[in-house]
Structure 1
Amino acid sequence: MDKLYNVFKNIRFSSEEEIEEKIYEDEGIKVIRTMSLDQVTGFYDQDELEIVFLLKGKAQIEYEDGRRLNLGEGDSLVIRPHEIHKVSWQEEAVWLCIFKK
């Protein structure tokens, strides 16, 4: 049976940590929704290709080489494997993230 999932419903934030919900996963792909009040992250060095969609809020992605990209609602970004990056700031951000394994 198919499960209906609405990325804009039941949004919640925590002052202590990001909240992640797995929407789908199989051997080749993972889809998650991440909700972040204002958390920053350390640098990520991932094996997977990641495509992120900022559904709500604002955020900034910073790369290890110093490049910074400001994202607003509706923006998307492809992050290639081993493209070292972090979220340097975000404000009530709701992300849809797709990982290709």
Structure 2
Amino acid sequence: MNNLFQGLPEDNSIEHFDKLIETQSCRVERIVSYGQASPEVGWYDQSEQEWVLVLSGYGIVEMETGERVRLKAGDHLLIKAHQRHRVVQTSSDEPTIWLAVFYP
């Protein structure tokens, strides 16, 4: 048995991406952020849908339209394919643990 809250990476200078499940049509990742944000320039523009759930900490996701969504533990968000977005802030006083599901 595995636990999403155990075995957290010790290096908090970078964001960590762990693939939990990967098939031809779906990928599930645990993402652990320690205050990281997306680079100032550039946007994520993915060819797949992304459903993301915050398990601990918080994150603020900005859409290219200027809309900002603050997600705290228990909050989830669907980011549609090619919906340009970026993470502008994550918790720096505790790990932000995300569960992300990518699918067509």
Q: Shift of residue 5 of structure 1?
A: 2.5
Q: Shift of residue 8 of structure 1?
A: 1.6
Consecutive aligned runs of 4 or more in structure 1 exceeding 6 Å deviation: none
CA distance in 2, matches of 1:72, 1:81: 23
The CA RMSD measured in Å over matched residues stands at: 1.2
Q: Tell me the residue number matched to 1:94.
A: 97
Gap regions ≥5 residues in structure 1: none
Q: Tell me the residue number matched to 1:62.
A: 62
Superposition pairs of residues 14-93 of structure 1, within 5 angstroms: 14-42=11-39, 43-91=43-91, 92-93=95-96
Gap regions ≥5 residues in structure 2: none
Number of residues of Structure 1 aligned to a counterpart in Structure 2:
98
Q: 1:7/1:15 Cα in 2 relative to 1: closer, same or farther (>3 Å)?
A: closer
Instruction: Give yes or no for contact 1:13–1:37 (8 Å, CA) kept in 2.
Output: no
Amino acid at match of 1:72: K
**Same amino acid, percent of matched pairs:** 33
The DSSP-based 3-state class of the residue aligned with 2:57 is strand
